[in-house]
Structure formats: C-alpha cells, structure tokens
Chain A
Amino acid sequence: MKSMEPKHLALFGLVIALYLGTGFLQSWNTMLSIFNMGLISCIMALGVNMQWGYAGLFNVGVMGFVALGGLAGVLVAMDPVEGAWGTDGALRILLALILGAATILGAILVWSKLPKGKLRGLAVTTILVAGFFIFRAVFDGGVAVVEAIDPALTGNIGGLGLPVILAWPVGGLFAAGAAWIIGKTALGLRSDYLAIATLGIAEIIISVMKNEDWLARGVKNVTGVPRPVPYEVDLQQAEWFLSLATRIGADPVTFSSIFVKLSYASLFIVVLLALIWLTEKALNSPWGRMMRAIRDNEVSASAMGKNVKARHLQIFILGSAVCGLAGAMMTTLDGQLVPGTYQPLRFTFLIWVMVIVGGSGNNWGAVLGGFLIYWLWIQVEPLGLMLMQGITAGMSEGNALREHLIDSAAYMRLMTMGLILLLVLRFSPRGLIPER
C-alpha cells in the first residue's frame, strides 16, 4: 500500500462507505453476503488482471475456469457414493478416460513421429476413430451403472470426502489443466483467436457439467457440500456461542448467521491478502517487468531473448488457476454446485468489467473493481426497480406498460454494466487506479 496515492485511498474509502451504508440501511446479513461474494470476485479479477493487465491476453472463458474450480469442490469434499466405486462403475469410467487420453496422446505422438504425407493423416484418423469407439464402449457401461445408483439422491461418483479447503488448490489445478490445453493451441495466434477459443471451452465445460450426471449430478445439482465453518444450527445450541450472544446483546439466530458469514469472510480475506502479496511481489520482480515488456512490445522482447510464447502460456495458466481457486471458494461458500447458474455474462464479462473499471495492470485496481462492481451488480436491481416504480407511479394499477416496465427492471443491470464498461473505456481507459 505504501505507494498508493491519496486519491486511490479515497476510492477505497468510498467502497468501504458503500458496504457500510448497506450494513446500516439494509442489514448486516445482506452486507456480509455481498462482501463475501465481493471477496471471491476480487480473486477472479486478480486472475483476469494477471492475464490481461500483465500480459495483454484476452481470456473470455473465465466462467469455464470458475466452473472447473467449483467442480473440484464437489469432487474433493463430498463423500464417495457407496457402490459407485466398483470395477463396473467409477473405475470403469476412469479406465475409459485414461483410454481416451491415451488415444489423443497416441495420435499426437504418431503425428510428430511419422513423416509428412498421406500415411500420417490416415494413421492419426484411424487411431482417433478407433480410440473414440473403444472409449465409448468402456465409458457408456460404467456411466449406466453409476447413474443407476439411487438417482434421486446421488447417481454420481461422489467425491473423496476430504476437507473442503483442500478443494481450493485442486480447483486451481483443474483450471490450470484446461488452460494448458487452450494455451497450447490458441496462444501465439492472433489475439481474437484466443478470445474465441476461451469462449468456446467455457461453454463446453458448462455443457459437460450439465450433462454428465455421473460426475456431479448434472442439472440435478449437488447440495450440501461440507463446510469449513460451523453450521448455524450447531452454533445456536453451543453453550459458548449463546453466552457470547447474550454478552453482546444480539439475537442468537441472526448472530449465528452473521458469525458464519464472518468466518467465511476471514478465510477468504486470508486468501485474498496472500494473493495480493504474491501478485504484487511478482509484478514488481524482474519477471513482472519482463511480462510487461512482452505485452508492450513482443518483437523487441523476443529480440532480447525472451521466450514470448512460453511466458504467455505460463501467465495464462497462472491466471486461470487463480480463477479456478475462486470457483472452488464459491462452491464452498454456496455449499452447492448448480451448473445452470453459470452464465457467461455473470462469470466472464462481469469480471472483465471489474478489471477494466478498476484499472488493468494494477492489482489494487482489480481489488477495487471487484468490490465496487459486485456491489453495483447486486444493488442495481433494487435501484432499477425503485426507478421504474418512480417512473410508473402516475400510471394506473394493472396498466400493461407499467407492469412490463416493472417486470423488466431486472435487466437494467446488464445495460448498466455495459454502459459503465463503455464509459470507463472511453473516458478513463486506464481505469480508476491506473498501472504505475
């Protein structure tokens, strides 16, 4: 914080005032809900800022990496489903996946070893087609077995039953893996191609999560992901908690909910601070300067002997991993995984608005943007509704236009976010806290 200008501190002060105002005017419970998601949004924004701000990589598949992190939450923390892990169930699926990966690896190997010509194309096609049918033959049987196990409650492979905190780094690893595949193919081509490739992979990750019921129950959702913090009901019965509540004179029920949210907040704050510390260190190290040099002039950076493609791949993987980490944290906070809620506007483009508004290339800017834009995203809806009610106050009850306007208030937030993005990009392209 040492080199922050007073103006920037004032901006942080404004955001704190917005949150405190929410606490005083609405409720502390609401404020803490927004704050917790704000913390997670900040982490996502930090990840995108690494890719865009440091290296100028345009990733519009944030949603996919976040969702993969969320999947990790389920696969690590849920208990294994009984009966699913037999040799004709989950193990068979696992074998199929290994066979599928082996097919692709084999095809790549053949492609790189054989000389150019008709034979090579034929061999690779044969391997891929044969591999696909073998994969399906092994895979389909395993899926049928797993999905038949008590489909109303489980019907999936469950998880490892480990503490949910472990899912956070695992979520990062999942996202990093996906980023590696995308980076290998699309980095080094024109910038738009990376954008379209990431947009595509995000949609595919979501459709896999929606349709592969054996994995995380698909659209049937997984609920009851274990928590790293105590449950409200348990708190309300604990001796020490009740005495604490009476001492500060709070209603035990409300206080238990606030206590849980505060516990989440403290966990998230630790992660956020660690990440800010790491990213600031990285940005101000020779590595960070090299990244910015590559971003500003790829040709001269590579003339200086820097491996532009490898560095791009590295930062793309790192940034995506941070998004995956945030995704796993979000599943932990929600206690459930609902693939249907992953919308590109909310999880990709909103994060972009945060980074651009906050100030690309500046970690503190990303944090500020994360808190500010998430607050707006939540509050624009009631504000829009109030505005619409104000406009339509003169119209008679049951007027079609009035009802339409009030019903449509929910879409105000899309327009507002778009306008904010356009205005900042036009009049303050370096964001609220510009890069130093």
Chain B
Amino acid sequence: MDILNALVALLNFVIIPATAYGAQLALGALGVTLIYGILRFSNFAHGDTMAFGAMATILVTWWLQGMGVSLGPLPTALLALPIGILATGLLVIGTDKLVYKFYRQQKAKPVIFVIASLGVMFVMNGIVRFIIGVDDQRFADGERFIISARSFREMTGLDEGLAFRTSQGLTIVIAVIAVALLFWFLNKTRTGKSMRAFSDNEDLALLSGINPERVVLVTWLIVAALATTAGVLYGLDKSFKPFTYFQLLLPIFAAAIVGGLGNPLGAILGGFLIAYSEITITYAFRKVVGYLGPEDWSPDGLLQLLSTDYKFAVSFGILLIVLLFKPTGIMKGKSV
C-alpha cells in the first residue's frame, strides 16, 4: 500500500489535467449558453470563433516575440490576449450585423439561425485556415512548469512525480477571474441586469425600455472575450490546430446542455462534469491501483474503461443520459 504515491499519480494524471480542461470547456460553454439565452439559438460557429480568437492572439504573440517583448515566466500570449479579444469582438459584431441581425428583424425560427451559423462556421473556418494554415502551432513561452516532476520528486522524496504546468495553473486562475467578472457583471451592473431580464422575458424587457440591439451587442462582446480566452488557454495547454477547435464543439455543447442551456452556472458545472468524466473514463488506472495493492504487484491489464480515442463518446454518452432523463439539464435551463 502506498497511498501517497497513488494520490500523487491520480493528481498528476487525472485531477490537474481535468481541472484545466474543465475550466476551458466551462469558458466555451458559457459563451454558447449566453448566446442561447440572449439570441436564442445554438451557435455552431462557436468552436471556430474560439479558433479565430486564438489565431489572432497567436499572430500578435509572434509579433511581440519578434519585438523581444516578454512577460518573463508568464507566456507572452497573455499580453496579446486583449488584442485578440478585440479582433474577435469586431469579427462577431460584424457577423451579427451582416448575418444574424436580418433574421432577428424577420423573427425567423431558431433553426434558421442555426443554419446561418453553419454558414458562418464555414467562413470562419476558411478564414482561419487561410491565414494560419491547418498545422499545429506552438506559441507557449516563458516558464514551462510551476512544479516539474523532477523537482517534486526531489522535494518530497516520493517515487511518483507531479508536474504542474504553467498553462494549467494559468487556465485555472484566469477562468476563475473571468467567471467572477462575468457574474459580477450579470448580477451587479445595469447592463448585466438588463441582459438577464432580456433572457428571462423578452417582451417584458422590451416594454421596460431595454434596447435589444444594445443587449445583443454587449452579449457578442462578452462571448468574444470568453471564446478567445478559452481558445488561447486551450492552445497554451495543448496546441493550436484549427480542426481540434471544431471538434471541441461537441464537449462544449454537451457541457452547456448538461448544465442547462441558458444557465451560466450550469455551463460551468457541465464543463467540469464533462471534463472529469472524459478523463476519468479514458485514463488507465493501472499505476494508481498498482500503488494501492500489495508491494511488487501490479494489475495485468491497463484498467482503462475506454481507450482515449473515445473521449467524444463519453461526452456524448452523458449528453444522451441527460437528454433522456432530464432534458432541461441539471440546473434548470430553458426549453422551447
């Protein structure tokens, strides 16, 4: 029995990565859920919005790196992030003016918005690939680890190393800040309150003199900030590749629906739920169980419930279960 080593292995391979991934999913799902709450459609272009934001940030990062600017131990991308958010904000507001506004005035059915978002997805996809290509791009710099596996082993004398990467620490810290800011905005400011009123009851909000176009504009700006942050954090943590951002759509939607579409708290909960399940179910527990068993013994198999290639199947499975038993999500969301 070696509980400490088992715990460290679990932390290192499951809990830390899942927390960082969960924070990224939660930021993505918050964007989806906000659009759903205010504009009342599922935005299929969200993954590509994240890709665009990350791309804009990467380009600025490269420029800054070329100029010799750096943040020391922190990645330069953090300096570039505000500019990335600005660029993405301009893009989504432009998209709204060119595409969605027309259908809003027509009072089109939600599914028409969804189809329009497919078109937007194609175009954004094209823009991103056109500018930066389809390959993996690495843009992380600065200190790689907060704690590296070796220094942890030296520090504690345990066999098992624990690596805590800067990108993971940053993801968690920034996600907490972003979520705190968002909830402060939604609950305390006048604009935020008018957004919630608009989401709860559109007609009543219009009657009380809320300007719908302003609400929509602010929503898109917040969504751009959330999507870019999520995209950059994901890119720092893993790497930037346009196609993986498209594939993130599924876990992000799953998170938003599981939590209850239109419910921001639910989106955060859903993000972590999906991330923890995905990683726990696809992690090979051989090492952890090996530490827990008697000495000189380790289990024969990998003790992996599903191969990592099936991580999408996990988010999908959770989605199906929620749709079957609680279609409005864990925390009550909208259902039309």
The interface of chain A, by Cβ under 8 A from chain B, is: 56, 58, 60, 132, 185-186, 189-193, 195-197, 199-201, 203-204, 207-208, 210-211, 344-345, 349, 352, 356, 407-408, 411-419, 421-422, 425-426, 429
Contact (A418, B316) CB under 8 Å given A56-B111, A196-B253, A408-B133: no
Q: Interface size (B, Cβ < 8 Å)?
A: 49
Interface residues of chain B: helix, strand, loop or mixed (majority): helix
- Apart from the given pairs A191-B111, A352-B115, 10 other A-B contacts in the complex at a CB distance below 8 Å: A189-B323, A189-B327, A192-B114, A210-B309, A345-B122, A421-B115, A422-B116, A422-B120, A425-B115, A426-B99
Q: Which residues of A lie under 8 Å from residue B120 when comparing CB positions?
A: 418, 422
CB <8 Å contact, A415 and B130? yes
Set of chain A residues within 8 Å of B307, measured between Cβ atoms? 211
Contacts of A414 in B (CB 8 A): 122-123, 125-126, 129
B310 CB within 8 Å of chain A: yes
Tell me whether A200 and B111 are in contact in the complex, defined as CB-CB below 8 angstroms, given that A185-B323, A349-B118, A415-B130 are known contacts.
Answer: no
Say yes or no: B130 contacts A411, CB within 8 Å: yes
Decide yes or no whether B81 CB sits under 8 A from chain A.
no
Sorted nearest first, the 8 A-B pairs with minimum C-beta distance are A418-B122, A415-B126, A414-B126, A418-B123, A421-B119, A200-B316, A422-B119, A411-B129
**How far, in angstroms, from A407 to B307 measured CA to CA in the complex?**
36
List 10 interface pairs A-B (beta carbons < 8 Å), by A numbering.
A185-B324, A191-B110, A192-B261, A197-B319, A200-B250, A407-B133, A408-B130, A412-B130, A414-B126, A426-B99
Closest-CB distance, B111 to chain A (whole angstroms): 5
Q: How far is the CB of A143 from chain B (nearest CB, A)?
A: 11
What are the residues of chain B within 8 A of A185 when measuring CB–CB? 320, 323-324
Task: Give the chain B neighbours of A193 by CB distance below 8 A.
Answer: 257, 323, 327
Q: Please tell me if the beta carbons of A200 and B319 are within 8 angstroms of each other in the complex.
A: yes
Contact A207-B119, Cβ < 8 Å, known A196-B253, A200-B250, A408-B130: no
Q: Which residues of B contact A189 (CB under 8 A)?
A: 323, 327, 335
Does B112 sit within 8 A of A, measured CB to CB?
yes
A-contact 0/1 string along B249-276, CB 8 Å cutoff: 1100110010001000000000000000
Chain B residues, Cβ within 8 Å of A344: 246
Min Cβ gap A108→B in Å is 10
Task: Give bound CA distance, A414 to B99, whole Å.
Answer: 17
Instruction: Determine the chain B residues whose CB is within 8 A of the CB of A197 once the complex forms.
Output: 316, 319-320, 323
A349's partner among B102, B122, B253 (CB-CB below 8 A) is: B122
B315 at the interface (CB under 8 A from A): yes
Tell me if B7 is interfacial: C-beta within 8 Å of chain A. Answer: no
Q: How far is the CA of A369 from the CA of B41 in the complex (A)?
A: 26
